[in-house]
Amino acid sequence: MISFGLGIKIYDSLPQTIQGIIGKILAPIPLSWRGHRGVFNLAERISEPITIDELNEKESEALSELVRHAYENVPYYKDLFSEKKIDPRDVRCITDLQSLPILTKSDVRKNGSDLIASDAKKYSPGKVRTSGSTGEPLEFLIDQRTRLSEYAAEWRCILENDGELGGKTATFRGNYYRNHRKVGASWFRHALSGDLIFNTFSMDEETCRKYITKLRSFSPEIFRAFPSSLSHLARFVERGKINEHAIAFCSSEMMSEEMEDLIQTRICNTVINWYSQSEYVLSAGTCREGNMHINSEFGIIEVLDEEGKPVPDGTVGRLVGTSLTNFSQPFIRYDLDDLGAISETRCKCGRPHRILQRISGRHSDLIVTPDDRTLSTVQMQHWWKHQAVKEWDLDHFDWIQLIQTDICSFRILVVSKSGVEIQNYHENMEMALSDLWGTEVSVSIQDLDTMPHGEKWRFSKSEI
């Protein structure tokens, strides 16, 4: 008998037509019978009323357990605590954490196995590999409990905005990258999540109008989406909202006021802004009052100045988080590469969780194709990681930035891996982008000696 994780891997490797057929067959089966019961139970449990004192006590107990575990089982933290002469029993709250240095993505890359717990297998971790905020690959482990907590926190946010567990969902994200533009208007029913997943890489006007027709008949209760994709779809909505009573759960990108207004005006009344990371260190989502509450049962956040000192309430600073659930590879005082502010003001919704304000650092440039499709940074990262590097042999760069200089022209800056001659991949780069664009594009490539400090791996409209 194959494991649940292996089953998912096999399913994801199937052609999407087959995935869709399986999903359609399983559609009448409640999600709670398809592996979601644990998530739903936790979502209901954390939705129960809690006082601020009870919440603080939970945070303190979870932090103490995490730090003790890290000291006893993770070589990196064992050495760190010994070097700093810190007794792990003395770390019980946010202020106690300040005796520890900040963990950066560079630290995670450099220390590799030393950051992995000796008993990691005990927590059923999965390996994650991302492009990272700088374009350098970042690989780490995420516990099954961490994933469970993240999904439960998302559902709690939906519940608190008057949604229902397992509500019928339409997805507009970047994970439908296979054949992208060439398949045109297409969607499939995912067997595990139950979502109706739409191809966001082909959203020209004709495709968007077909999607709107499908959505009106499907009548989703929840939209899970990149805000750029859902607001682009909204441009073509006529004759009233698609479903005014639905909830738009938007994540992975900064959502501008213009995007939110388009979604609320033409898609549905309720729009949730969700903040998280691939590392699942910390998450936050908007309540009915429009405030973004931190899910502090699962992660602690600090806001620091340039010298690493805490800033006053309401002051924008560097966001540093500590995951309280990931034991296979603990992230303690992890630099989230974002800026924001924290408010201790009590929200009218009744939740005692602190409020995350004014997040910045994830602004996503939208580039436009000749057929008026818009593609965001996050969409392009999905395409690059899952399709371009595989089909066109382009996994030869430690860092990359694509700059759209004209509608069909790109200037590409790269930091090549050792021994790589970039002229050997010029044609491959042009073919990959031409395939995505649907027409021939021109490319110029410049190989840099070092990665520009602080620059994001991104697709942009302006040079660095």
Per-residue pLDDT tens over the stretch 446-461: 998 877 654 444 444 4
pLDDT in tens, 311-355: 998 899 999 999 999 999 999 999 998 889 999 889 999 999 999
Cα distance between residue 362 and residue 226, in whole Å: 13
Q: What angle do CA 265, 205, 233 make, to 5 degrees?
A: 30
> What pLDDT sits at residue 5?
55
Single-letter amino acid, residue 157 = C
Average pLDDT score, the chain:
88
pLDDT over threshold 90, residue 157: yes
Q: SS3 for 10?
A: helix
Judged on CB neighbours under 10 Å (0-12, 13-18, 19+), 216 is: middle
Residue 13 or residue 257, greater confidence? 257
Burial 25-40 (b: 16+ CB within 10 A, else e): ebeeeebeeeebeebb
At residue 289, does pLDDT exceed 80?
A: yes
425-452 pLDDT per residue, tens: 999 999 999 988 889 999 999 998 877 6
Task: Give me the mean pLDDT over the 103-113 stretch.
Answer: 91
Which residues, 6 or more positions from 229, have their beta carbon under 8 angstroms from its beta carbon?
172, 173, 174, 200, 203, 376, 379
Percent of the chain whose pLDDT exceeds 70? 91
- pLDDT on residue 179: 62
Q: Which pLDDT score is estimated for 464?
A: 35
Confidence of residue 178 (pLDDT cuts 50, 70, 90): low
How far is 27 from 16, CA to CA, in rounded Å? 16
Burial of 118 (0-12, 13-18, 19+ CB in 10 A): exposed
User: Per-residue confidence at 180, pLDDT binned at 50, 70, 90?
Assistant: low
pLDDT tens for each residue of 262-277: 999 999 999 999 999 9
- Residue 55 structure tokens: 């919440």
Mean pLDDT of the region 211-220: 97
Q: What is the mean pLDDT of residues 156-176?
A: 93
190 Cβ contact list (under 8 Å, min separation 6): 19, 23, 171, 196, 197
The number of helix segments (H) and strand segments (E) in the chain equals: 14, 20
Q: What is the predicted pLDDT for the residue at 131?
A: 61
For 241, list phi and psi in degrees, rounded to 5: -65, 155
Statement: residue 2 has pLDDT above 90 = no
Domains of the chain: 4-35+162-275 (3.40.50), 52-148+287-360 (3.40.50.12780), 366-460 (3.30.300)
User: Would the pLDDT of 181 be above 70?
Assistant: no
